[in-house]
Amino acid sequence: MRLNALPSSYALFASSKFKFTFPVGICIRVRALNTFSSLPTTCHEDHDDLFAPIPTLRHSDNTTNAIERIALRLRNLGLASADHADDDDFLRREWLRPDEVLLPWDKREGEEFEEHEEQQKEKLKKKNANAVTLAEKTLEEEELRRLRTLGMSLKEKVTIPQAGLTRAVLDKIHRQWSNCELVRLKFHELLAQNMKLAHQIVECRTRGLVIWRSGSYMWVYRGRNYQGPMKPIEKEGDDRIPVPSDGDAALLLAKSEAVFWKEENMTPEEVEFNRMLDGFGPRFVEWWGTGILPIDADLLPPTVPGYKTPLRLLPAGMHPRLTNDELTNMRKLAKSLPCHFALGRNRNLQGLASAILRLWEKSLVAKIGVKRGIVNTNNELMAQELKKLTGGTLLLRNKYYIVIYRGKDFVPTSVAAVIAERQEMTKHVQDVEEKVRCKVHDIAPSREDEPKSQAGSLAEFYEAQACWGRDISTEERERMRQEVAKAKNAKLAKKIECKLAVAQAKRLRAEKLLAKIEVSLVPAGPDYDKETITDEERVMFRSVGLRMKAYLPLGIRGVFDGVIENMHLHWRHRELVKLITKQKTLAFVEDTARLLEYESGGILVAIDEIPKGFSLIYYRGKNYRRPMTIRPRNLLTKAKALQRSIAMQRHEALSQHVTELGEKIEKMKKELSEDEF
């Protein structure tokens, strides 16, 4: 018996769960389903060994196809064909190969893909893992657990206002730390939206440790070696922040803050920026951000004696204004810069303007942060005042920042002083030359009979007017004025006629669009065989309908298929339906009510004026039957009804505009005709 094709049920035969017996002497030849060749098999004389348990596979390659697994089992049976000898090398060949053979370049790509997947997994793990805080690094787990348990019992809280960690808030925190080792903070406004920034600011300003944070709340630990508020440390030769004689506490705290920001912890760019701000004034300690503290512009003098707007001189061949690309680049540059100044007042900014002029000698832009939490701050007034005092170009202004560019015509103070000196010198030389010239003219003898020159004098004008000019009378001057007014009116009338032609063309387009939309609108006519109601029923239905709370609003779309559908849906549960329209003219309301009555098949009960507009009450009738299609096909859809409403409004407005222009033209033509006579 020879099998030319492998039956689909051979998998049952290969399984060890089923046992089949064949007559002795029958030879079974199976053609292996492989792409290389077919492997014939023979039966042994001992037929019991044929159906012995399947030996262990010689190849451990995992196959994915069912047919390949069947062929693999057949190859591993070790059956030989009667046509071949036992020592045939054909049977001892390895016909199996791995399912996926990777070439050298494929192996590299596979390895790169696996490395990329591993990198992505590591990134996801790092992203999902919570960042270790400073408190978790410095405190033990038992101590951290004890502090968090203690924080659950805290009831008092310190509210952080919009201005951030001000001096008053820091005093409250230290006052509470004197009694308890924990303080509970509640943030508002912008810091509540960025709690990571608030975390950094709190640890930086208070020198404490944030042990827990959730939402807009935060628990701060004072530390093991807490010794009260930090006192300002005086350094020899540290004169970067001047301390006034009145001993202002804010300036002392500013000095301590300047000591805290050590240059060892800064990048080279931050060190250079910090040193650039050293000579401008005291720092703003209550800064709500991190990094370098800006200059407190409110502590600068409000007026500077002898202050003048700086000299500006544009180089030859340069356009004074910035292009759009230049504006964009400048704004990008200013976005990455820290703030130079922090400002909280609207006027008296001469001290700040003087500092900005000195800053512009080292920087192209000056970035000013508007202080938060201060009453009546107006960034528009600040920007106008600074632009007036400095003459710079305003790049950006909002409720957070003001950025001013020094301009292409900016001249540094030293260069401006040299230019002013040269101008004074040139003027002095010209004055000396003029004096010498006048002295020579006085010394020279003058001839009495020599006529004096009258060029450019008033006498020359009168002489020329007497010879060549003529006097204009009052009547002629009035006539000239009338001609000028007439020409002006004619020009204006021509302009209005052009407007009228444009408006008429627009109205014609609106009429065409409205006619195109109304093609699908085929309103139904009146039904003369309609049910009627008595006067008593009408009064009763009207009183019931006015008391109904449920109603259908009739908006700007007017009557469309959805309104009729909603009426039928209301009549499904009740006999009356009330519609409210906001149309103001009673004639339009009556037309709408008549159209609704024709389309719905109901009976109009009453039209009443109410505070919301007009109410329309309809009765479905005693013999009412719900139609097969409650949404009529002869009306407009909701979208087309909106288009029709907009087109009607446009047509009405254009018609009114055309009428007004026509009346105006007629009036002007009438005035021109009267002036001619």
In single-letter form, the type of residue at position 249 comes to A
Same domain for 273 and 351, yes or no, is yes
Structure tokens at 156: 């008092």
Same domain for 205 and 310, yes or no, is no
Report the C-alpha gap between 558 and 641 in whole angstroms. 7
Is 53 within the bounds of a domain? no
Which band of pLDDT confidence, cut at 50, 70 and 90, is reported for residue 444?
A: low
Residues 166, 167, 168, 171, Cα dihedral to 10° = 120
Say which residue, 198 or 661, is predicted with more confidence.
661
Write out the DSSP string of 484-505: HHHHHHHHHHHHHHHHHHHHHH
Mean pLDDT of 98-125: 60
What angle, rounded to 10 degrees, do the helices at 350-359 and 379-390 form? 60
Domain that holds residue 555: 535-635
Give the DSSP H or E segment for 137: helix 134-138
- Residue 96: partners with Cβ closer than 8 Å, 6 or more residues away: 59, 61, 72, 75
Which band of pLDDT confidence, cut at 50, 70 and 90, is reported for residue 167?
A: confident
Give the DSSP H or E segment for 397: strand 393-397
Same domain for 271 and 338, yes or no, is yes
Report the C-alpha gap between 197 and 287 in whole angstroms. 12
**Beta strand residue intervals within 106-262, DSSP E:** 158-160, 182-187, 209-214, 217-221
Is 517 within the bounds of a domain? no
Closest CA to 311 of 422, 430, 426, 429: 422
Angle CA 118–124–128, to nearest 5: 150
Is 374 within the bounds of a domain? yes
- Torsion sign, CA atoms 490, 491, 492, 496: positive
pLDDT per position as a tens digit, 522-559: 888 887 778 888 999 999 999 999 999 999 999 888 89
- Residue 1: partners with Cβ closer than 8 Å, 6 or more residues away: 22, 26, 27, 28
Report the C-alpha gap between 216 and 222 in whole angstroms. 19
Residues 299, 305, 306, 311, Cα dihedral to 10° = 0
Same domain for 286 and 169, yes or no, is no
CA 648 from chain centre, in angstroms, equals 36
Q: Assess contact for 334 and 367: CB atoms under 8 A.
A: yes
Is 122 within the bounds of a domain? no
Is 93 within the bounds of a domain? no
Which band of pLDDT confidence, cut at 50, 70 and 90, is reported for residue 442?
A: low
Is 54 within the bounds of a domain? no
Same domain for 180 and 291, yes or no, is no
Report the C-alpha gap between 45 and 26 in whole angstroms. 10
pLDDT per position as a tens digit, 394-427: 999 988 899 999 888 888 888 888 888 888 898 8
Q: Which of 411, 428, 447 is the last residue of a domain?
A: 411
In single-letter form, the type of residue at position 172 comes to K
Report the C-alpha gap between 262 and 483 in whole angstroms. 81
Write out the DSSP string of 587-635: HHHHHHHHHHHHHH--EEEEEEEETTEEEEEEE--TT----S-SS-SSS
Mean pLDDT of 41-68: 48
Same domain for 198 and 292, yes or no, is no
Same domain for 299 and 370, yes or no, is yes
Same domain for 161 and 273, yes or no, is no
**Dihedral class, residue 157 (left if φ above 0, else alpha if ψ from -120 to 50, else beta):** beta
Tell me whether residue 544 is exposed, middle or buried, using C-beta atoms within 10 angstroms of its C-beta: 0 to 12, 13 to 18, 19 or more.
middle
Same domain for 369 and 279, yes or no, is yes
Looking at the predicted structure, is the pLDDT value of residue 80 above 50? no
Looking at the predicted structure, is the pLDDT value of residue 266 above 80? no
Is 240 within the bounds of a domain? no
Q: Which of 15-19, 113-117, 484-488, 604-608 has maximum average pLDDT?
A: 604-608
What percentage of the chain exceeds 70 in pLDDT?
A: 75
Tokens 């065989």: give the residue. Answer: 529
Which band of pLDDT confidence, cut at 50, 70 and 90, is reported for residue 187?
A: confident
How high is the pLDDT of residue 229?
74
How high is the pLDDT of residue 577?
94
Which band of pLDDT confidence, cut at 50, 70 and 90, is reported for residue 485?
A: confident
Secondary structure (3-state) at 371: coil
Q: Which of 411, 428, 446 is the last residue of a domain?
A: 411
* Adjacency order of strands within the sheet including 603-610: 552-554, 576-581, 613-619, 603-610
How high is the pLDDT of residue 445?
58
How high is the pLDDT of residue 113?
59
CB atoms inside a 10 Å sphere around CB 409 = 15
- Residue 181: partners with Cβ closer than 8 Å, 6 or more residues away: 147, 150, 221, 222, 226
Report the C-alpha gap between 505 and 454 in whole angstroms. 64
CA 100 from chain centre, in angstroms, equals 51
Indicate which CATH number applies to the domain containing 541. 3.30.110.60
**Domains in the chain: how many in total?**
3
Mean residue pLDDT across the chain: 77
Same domain for 215 and 300, yes or no, is no
Report the C-alpha gap between 582 and 645 in whole angstroms. 14
Report the C-alpha gap between 563 and 597 in whole angstroms. 12
Structure tokens at 628: 């097969």
Mean pLDDT of 225-243: 52
In single-letter form, the type of residue at position 581 comes to T
Closest CA to 395 of 314, 337, 346, 329: 329
Structure tokens at 542: 């009207």
Q: Which of 411, 431, 466 is the last residue of a domain?
A: 411
Looking at the predicted structure, is the pLDDT value of residue 93 above 80? no
Is 394 within the bounds of a domain? yes
pLDDT per position as a tens digit, 288-311: 776 788 999 898 998 999 888 888
Same domain for 281 and 150, yes or no, is no
Same domain for 202 and 299, yes or no, is no
How high is the pLDDT of residue 543?
93
HSE-up of residue 54 (Cα within 13 Å, Cβ side) = 17
How high is the pLDDT of residue 647?
92
Determine how β-strand 603-610 pairs with β-strand 613-619: antiparallel
How high is the pLDDT of residue 157?
84
Looking at the predicted structure, is the pLDDT value of residue 231 above 70? no
Looking at the predicted structure, is the pLDDT value of residue 246 above 90? no
Q: Please state the length of the chain.
A: 677
